[in-house]
Amino acid sequence: MIENSDHSKAKPVPSQTNSAQITTAAPAVSEKTPIKKEDANPVATPRKWACTISQNKALPNAWDRDPSPSQRKDLSAKCPPEMVNVADEFCVDRYEASIFSDGQRISPFYHPSYYHSKALFNLWKTKFAEFSTPKGLSMPIPEPDLWQLSAPFKVQAVSKGGTVPNGHTNLRIAKEACEAAGKRVCSPAEWKKACRSEEDTKFPYGDKYQWNLCNVFRDTHPIQVLHTEGSSALNDPRLNMVKDGQGNPLLEKTGTRTKCASKWSDDAAYDMVGNLDEWVDDPGGTFAGGFYSRSTREGCDASISGHPASYFDYSTGVRCCRDLVTGVVKDPHEKPKIVCRPKEVVLPGIKVVPRGEWAPLPPNPDILGNMENCDNYPIEKITLHHTGDRVITKPGEGRKMAGGAVYFHLGNAEKKRGKGWGDVAYHYLVTPEGEILEGRNPAFRGDSNTRYYPNDKNHSHTPEHHLLISVVGNYEKKEQEFTAEARLAVYRVLMAGLRYYDLKPGDVIFHKDVAYTGCPGSQVIDWYKTSGRYQIANQMKLLPK
């Protein structure tokens, strides 16, 4: 069992409660169907967690307050652009942390770790009916992305306005996430100083409590809405998805309450009082500031202590601090520097269609050039994939579908037009007609829509040290023929790769071996297991040592 937190200051859960008297909230995590006014106690219907959170355009643009280059110059560029300079002593994040892993958003409704996410998701799929109110029975459990349930992952704190911050965070993860961002969890003294603003007031906005300026002391408590008994429900992933009777979220997007701003010079840190309790680096196990339903008027003095570093519940988040920066802070809009231009790797002995003859877009060298270890990238495995989209039924469609993969992989991720990668994910693509298409330069690591399991030292969370070969088409479908021409082409490129990188037939694996996926499809898997592997092994025995 996860240790209970001190939520005693919240309104007590009544034994007999009229649902019309309860107001509840849900974070505006995704655009959802508006709550009908006649529903006295609405609960939003969750959907599978999406990585991109749209901004509520009706809200003031508090999150657009990143200091301009001129402002950063005035501050001697002592803090990164997403942080606030506190009295020229240290930097504090402008917003409560959203937690990411390798650029992908981690669901804010679960503990940001593989083990707890998976355990809690499986638990609540069956447990949600226990001690549930009628609303609790009708509200489904949100589902994290599959990669979050598939393998351990790294975490990094991101200070970003207009997003739902991560609850369910313990101090251990908070430290790991802040440190991955080059920061640290704030000390109690740092946190309190930043919260009290340059005017040194009890609340971010002044010395006297003003109702509703910060997201705290709400009339609604999410446990009252979903459960009849609260002590065992503190990690119900739906708690931060409850809305009040007016359809307003209890857990709000960062920067929503523009007057809850701890001002420093021409800048401010938002939501230091309310929204989420924020861990501080204190041996006493302390989080500060109060969360949305905590009944407190203590402002920046509010804190709860006595919890181990492993403790978490729906109300606990974090905000990072760091020392002042020496030197110039990089402009976030500056184009990335090119750190490497490796030589083109060409596998000998195979006929390859140059990308200029089939690919609709060239690689993006600015993105590729910033990949780590791109020079002399050591290949230690060969992974078989399929593009896995639609079935190819007409001759000549292989190149066209491969071109679609290029558009998608290089497309603008921010505008939801693609992945935003530096090139097509695969190093070689094989069409049903048996053509071997030139893909990404093997000197650069490939990309994948899934996370790779860390099943050895070379498989962290990306396809590192792998040569990626993809067969164009969907080979999980019976309608897709794995042609003799395609099988021969795959055989040839595998032989060339094994010889060039001095590998063994056992170093050829399937995408499904290292990720939560069926790729490269049953037809490709069956061919390699029943004949391809043995053909390659027998041929390699005949090669000179």
Q: Is the pLDDT of residue 23 over 70?
A: no
pLDDT band of residue 366 (cuts 50, 70, 90) is: confident
Closest Cα partner for 141 from 32, 45, 229?
Answer: 45
Lay out the sheet containing 277-279: strands in order across. Answer: 303-304, 287-288, 277-279, 316-318
CA distance 27 to 255: 13
**Which tokens is 278 given?**
């924020």
pLDDT at 32: 32
pLDDT at 414: 58
CA distance 50 to 44: 15
Q: What is the phi-psi region of residue 183: left when phi exceeds 0, alpha when psi lies from -120 to 50, beta otherwise?
A: beta
pLDDT band of residue 193 (cuts 50, 70, 90) is: very high
Burial 288-315 (b: 16+ CB within 10 A, else e): bbbbbbbebbbbbbbbbeebeeebbbbb
pLDDT at 108: 97
Task: Determine the average pLDDT of the residues in 126-148.
Answer: 88
pLDDT at 451: 65
Task: Determine the average pLDDT of the residues in 166-192.
Answer: 97
Greater confidence (38 vs 90) lies with 90
Highest mean pLDDT among 29-38, 61-70, 394-403: 394-403
Q: Is the pLDDT of residue 184 over 70?
A: yes
pLDDT at 89: 95
Q: By the 8 A CB rule, do 300 and 194 touch? A: no
Q: By the 8 A CB rule, do 80 and 440 touch? A: no
3-state secondary structure of 261: strand
Q: Is the pLDDT of residue 71 over 50?
A: no
pLDDT band of residue 459 (cuts 50, 70, 90) is: very low
**CA distances (Å), 132 to each of 122, 126, 137, 140, in order?**
17, 12, 6, 12
Q: What is the separation of C-alpha 527 from the centre of its chain, rounded to a whole number of angstroms?
A: 36
Closest Cα partner for 206 from 78, 77, 300, 335?
Answer: 300
pLDDT band of residue 402 (cuts 50, 70, 90) is: very high
pLDDT band of residue 9 (cuts 50, 70, 90) is: very low
pLDDT band of residue 369 (cuts 50, 70, 90) is: low
DSSP 512: G
**What does pLDDT average to over the chain?**
81
Q: What share of the chain has pLDDT > 70, as a percent? A: 77
CA distance 397 to 483: 14
In 80-238, DSSP assigns E strands to: 83-86, 90-93, 97-101, 104-105, 156-159, 184-185
Q: pLDDT by residue (tens digit) across 488-513?
A: 999 999 999 999 999 999 999 999 88
pLDDT at 510: 93
CA distance 231 to 136: 15
Structural domains of the chain sorted by starting position, each given as residue range(s) with its CATH number in brackets: 355-541 (3.40.80.10)
Q: Is the pLDDT of residue 236 over 70?
A: yes
Helical axes 533-541 vs 484-500, angle rounded to 10°: 50
Closest Cα partner for 167 from 236, 261, 248?
Answer: 236
pLDDT band of residue 344 (cuts 50, 70, 90) is: confident
Q: By the 8 A CB rule, do 432 and 485 touch? A: yes
DSSP 473: S
Q: Is the pLDDT of residue 104 over 60?
A: yes
**CA distances (Å), 111 to each of 35, 52, 283, 378, 496, in order?**
27, 18, 21, 35, 45
Task: Determine the average pLDDT of the residues in 524-528.
Answer: 95
Closest Cα partner for 159 from 205, 194, 115, 209?
Answer: 194
Task: Determine the average pLDDT of the residues in 185-199.
Answer: 98
Q: Is the pLDDT of residue 4 over 70?
A: no
Q: What amino acid occupies position 231? A: S
pLDDT band of residue 286 (cuts 50, 70, 90) is: very high
Q: Is the pLDDT of residue 185 over 60?
A: yes
pLDDT at 457: 40
- 61-75, 295-309, 388-402, range with the lowest pLDDT: 61-75
Task: Determine the average pLDDT of the residues in 223-232.
Answer: 88
